[in-house]
Every structure is written in structure tokens, then in C-alpha cells.
């Protein structure tokens, strides 16, 4: 399992290629990439900034990833999350799961993303022409997290 | 001296001189500390009270607000998270 919290831009396709290189034990790869949008609800976003708590953020994301990795029995898991300043179009987060069959791969990626939205110690701030605003988790994020929690339990 | 860390929007409300502080003798617990922060920086105190703020003591989530605060501790205040 690889977990990386980084201020550096990354290429999701290159990361996935490196992650699966030499693996012939997996029958399935599922992945999700979250990108920085150029607009939210019609408001232009010129920059996204993600605050984190060094050490604690890495530890918590690793703990969540490890819990879901073991629960769904995937073969390997890759998690990369950007912090700091991010430009529209750049990748924010990549979750990729290798598994024997597609079910474990899909479940691992979907549920880990639902966990990261509300439980990863990260704080997003969008900046646009009207100023900056901190992003709060949406009610649907909490609803999805509640459903995911039942699937993990 | 203790080190205080304010994340996300709490960081915007926190005065710069509140990152390394010598606490007065009456601040013995995390609960005392939260109250003291509210008295020292009212804007920050209101931001902490207005949201579900979690407290992390020396990189571990604190569930007991009666936990003691000691010299050299690092205490972080975390507002609701928004990752992914």
C-alpha cells in the first residue's frame, strides 16, 4: 500500500502505470481521479488551496486506507493527495486499487473516496474574483460516508 | 510553552502570536485551554464554537477534554474536514 501526501503536481496515468508495473496477480484495477474545477456553481475558481496538518494528515489517511484495504481484501492500494496550491485542471486526488476481481477493486475505491471526503484531515479553500471561501463537507458527503461506514462495519 | 495549531478557516482567524504560548497557571486541561483561547482571541473563540471542532493532542485525537496540558505539548484545533 502506498499513501503519499504531496505539494507537487502529479500525473495520474504515470502513477497508475508505475503502480501496476510487473503485477500479474491482479485481475482488476479500479481508479478514481479528482480534479480541480475551473468553476463551482457558476463561480470562477482561479486557485484551490488545501491546508493539512503535517504528520497527522498522512497518519490518518494511511489509517483509513489500511482499514478499507483489509476490509475489502484488495491486493494493493495507491493513494495520492495534493496539498498546497492547485490550479484548475490539475489532479487533486488519485485512489487506485488492484484486486483479484472487479468487485473488491470498485468497492475499495468508492468507499475510500467517501471516507476521504469527510474524514481526511484536509481543508479546501477556493479563490476566485469574489474572494476566497473555505469548503465545508456537503450533506450528501456525510450521507455517503454514513452508507460507506455501514458497508465497512 | 505549548504549540498551538489552527487548521483550515480557524487558521485565518488565529492571531500569529498564538502559535507558541506560555499558558497561565490556571490552564490545566484541554477544556481550560479552549476557554482560554476564546478569551484571548474572541474572534477565533467564536469560530471554534461555531463549528464542530476536534482537538488533537500531540498528534492523537483527544476524546477527553479533561486531559492535562503539559509544557512542550502540541495542541491542534481541527474544523470539519473537506478532503477528496
| Residues in B touching A92 (Cβ below 8 Å) | 84
> Helix (H) and strand (E) counts for chain A?
4, 10
User: In Å, how far is A27's CA from the nearest CA of chain B?
Assistant: 26
Using CA atoms, how far apart are residues A96 and A94, in angstroms rounded to an integer? 6
Using CA atoms, how far apart are residues B41 and B18, in angstroms rounded to an integer? 9
Contact A135, A126 (CB under 8 A): yes
Position B84 pLDDT exceeds 90: no
Position B83 pLDDT exceeds 90: no
Q: What are the residue boundaries of the structural domains of chain A, listed by start?
A: 2-152
DSSP state of A34: E
Asked if B84's CB is within 8 angstroms of A117's CB, the reply is: yes
Superfamily of domain B2-78: Beta-grasp domain (3.10.20.30)
With CA atoms as reference, the chain A residue closest to B83 would be A117
Query: In the prediction, which pLDDT does A153 show?
Result: 86
Using CA atoms, how far apart are residues A38 and A9, in angstroms rounded to an integer? 17
Averaged confidence pLDDT in chain A = 95
Q: What's the pTM?
A: 0.93
Superfamily of domain A2-152: Molybdopterin biosynthesis MoaE subunit (3.90.1170.40)
User: In Å, how far is A126's CA from the nearest CA of chain B?
Assistant: 12
- A149: number of CA atoms within 13 Å, CB side? 10
Using CA atoms, how far apart are residues B77 and A48, in angstroms rounded to an integer? 22
Residue percentage of chain B with pLDDT more than 90? 92
Using CA atoms, how far apart are residues A128 and B75, in angstroms rounded to an integer? 32
Looking only at the bridges linking them, the beta strands covering A43-44 and A39-40 are antiparallel
| Residues in A touching B12 (Cβ below 8 Å) | 134
Q: What are the residue boundaries of the structural domains of chain B, listed by start?
A: 2-78
List, for residues B50-65, the tens digit of each pLDDT value.
Answer: 989 999 999 999 999 9
- The question of ipTM being above 0.90 is answered as yes
Reported confidence tier of residue A21, pLDDT bands at 50, 70, 90: very high
Amino acid at each position: 500500500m502506498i499513501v503519499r501526501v504531496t505539494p507537487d503536481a502529479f500525473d495520474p496515468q504515470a502513477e497508475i502505470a508505475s503502480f501496476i508495473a510487473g503485477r500479474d496477480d491482479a485481475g482488476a484495477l479500479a481508479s478514481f481521479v479528482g480534479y480541480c474545477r475551473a468553476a463551482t456553481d457558476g463561480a470562477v475558481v482561479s486557485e484551490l488551496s488545501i491546508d493539512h496538518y503535517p504528520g497527522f494528515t498522512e497518519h490518518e489517511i494511511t489509517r483509513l486506507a489500511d482499514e478499507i484495504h483489509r476490509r475489502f481484501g484488495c491486493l494493493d492500494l495507491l493513494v495520492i493527495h495534493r496539498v498546497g496550491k492547485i490550479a484548475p485542471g490539475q489532479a487533486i486526488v488519485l485512489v487506485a486499487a488492484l484486486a483479484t476481481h472487479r468487485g473488491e477493486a470498485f468497492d475499495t475505491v468508492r468507499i475510500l473516496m467517501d471516507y476521504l471526503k469527510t474524514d481526511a484531515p484536509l481543508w479546501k479553500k477556493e479563490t476566485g474574483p469574489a474572494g476566497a471561501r473555505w469548503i465545508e463537507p456537503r450533506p450528501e458527503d456525510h450521507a455517503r460516508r454514513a452508507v460507506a461506514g455501514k458497508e465497512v462495519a | 510553552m505549548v504549540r498551538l495549531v489552527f487548521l483550515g478557516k480557524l487558521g485565518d482567524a488565529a492571531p500569529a502570536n498564538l502559535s507558541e504560548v506560555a499558558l497561565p497557571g490556571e490552564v490545566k486541561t484541554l477544556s481550560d485551554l479552549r476557554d482560554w483561547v476564546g478569551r484571548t482571541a474572541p474572534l477565533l473563540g467564536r469560530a471554534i464554537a461555531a463549528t464542530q471542532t476536534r482537538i488533537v493532542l500531540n498528534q492523537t485525537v483527544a476524546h477527553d477534554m479533561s486531559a492535562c496540558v503539559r509544557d512542550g505539548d502540541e495542541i491542534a484545533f481541527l474544523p470539519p474536514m473537506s478532503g477528496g
